[in-house]
Each structure stands twice: as C-alpha cells, then as structure tokens.
C-alpha cells in the first residue's frame, strides 16, 4: 500500500481505509495473509501481494477465502457499513475474545486498516481468527456475519448461552 492509499478518497473526509475482510475479486485487492495451523488462524504476509497475482494458482473447487485472507478498500455501499463505521467489527468485538497472547501480529495493513482505526488493538486481537466464510453450523458466527444483527441481539444471545 503506497502513499496514494493515504490520499485516496471514497467520497468521505479523511484517508481511504482498507477492509481486512475484503472481497477477492476487487481490482485493488491484496492478500493479507494465509490461513494456517490447527486453529486455522491467519498468518500475515510481510508485504501485500496483489490478489490477481495469486488467484489463478488456487485449485479449482477451492474457495479463495478458504485459504487466503484478503484486504480491499472499505466502500460506502458495503452491507456492513453503518454510517462511517464498520458494523462487522462492532459485532465481532461484542463477542468475548478467546484467551490468547497479548501481543498483536505484525500486519502491513494496520496503518490503513478500517478496523484498527475504528476500535484499535481489540480488532488486531480478533483478526487472525476471523474467516470471510460464513460457517452455517456455528450460530454465533452466522449472527456476527449478518449485517442485520444488532449489538443488542448478540449480547442477548451470548447471555442466553452462558
């Protein structure tokens, strides 16, 4: 991400932000990381790689977001957009974090990241575990992924499960 990303605008005040849960097929999309390990966590790349450079190497029948995590521009017509905020990261941070290391991973996206700029380090603690696939067998994950879910609905669901 070069300095033009800092100066680009999306019809808003301030710099253009990047979504760490972006679409693979947008022209500006970069690979943020690779899903790896037994807990399927994201391992972040040291430098961004244009998604177009790697999408052709993913075997047919495998969804690109099954193995890679993408970042693309945060856009005003996103289903998760609530005013200038990202509703997805708000829903994600409603869910109690799993115990883990206090350190946040190195990430080339952070200075431009919508989530980082909106909620800070809490986003970074949650980011490696997130997937852009909606796991239909996990009711909480489905609720979090649904833009229609409110923070109050999530809090109520979590309270009922405890």
Give the pLDDT confidence of 46-96 residue by residue, as tens digits.
998 999 999 999 988 888 888 899 999 999 899 999 999 999 999 988 887
Whether 104 contacts 116, CB under 8 Å: no
CA nearest 151: which of 88, 79, 72, 64? 88
Q: First vs last Cα of the chain: how many Å apart?
A: 42
- Give the pLDDT mean for 15-38: 88
Q: What is the pLDDT of residue 2?
A: 43
Q: Pick 128 or 111 by higher pLDDT.
A: 111
User: pTM for the full model?
Assistant: 0.76
Rounded to 5 degrees, what are φ and ψ at 153?
-65, -40
87's tokens: 């509703």
Give the pLDDT band (50/70/90) at residue 146. confident
Burial of 161 (0-12, 13-18, 19+ CB in 10 A): exposed
60's tokens: 């047919």
CA nearest 3: which of 21, 15, 13? 15
Distances (CA, A) of 109 to 20, 32, 117, 119, 157: 8, 7, 11, 15, 32
On the CB side of 77, how many CA atoms lie within 13 Å of its CA? 0
Neighbours of 45 (CB within 10 A): 18
Residue 6 predicted with pLDDT over 80: no
């Amino acid at each position: 991400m070069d300095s033009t990303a800092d100066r680009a605008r999306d019809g808003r005040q301030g710099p253009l932000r990047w979504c760490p849960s972006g679409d693979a097929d947008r022209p500006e999309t970069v690979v943020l990381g690779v899903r790896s390990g037994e807990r399927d966590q994201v391992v972040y790349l040291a430098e961004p790689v244009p998604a177009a450079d790697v999408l052709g190497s993913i075997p047919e029948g495998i969804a690109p977001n099954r193995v890679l995590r993408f970042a693309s521009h945060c856009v005003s017509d996103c289903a998760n957009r609530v005013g200038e905020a990202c509703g997805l990261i708000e829903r994600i941070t409603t869910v109690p974090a799993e115990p883990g290391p206090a350190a946040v991973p190195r990430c080339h996206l952070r200075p431009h990241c919508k989530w980082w700029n909106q909620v800070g380090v809490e986003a970074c603690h949650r980011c490696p575990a997130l997937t852009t696939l909606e796991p239909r067998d996990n009711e909480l994950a489905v609720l979090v992924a649904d833009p229609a879910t409110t923070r109050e609905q999530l809090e109520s669901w979590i309270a009922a499960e405890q």
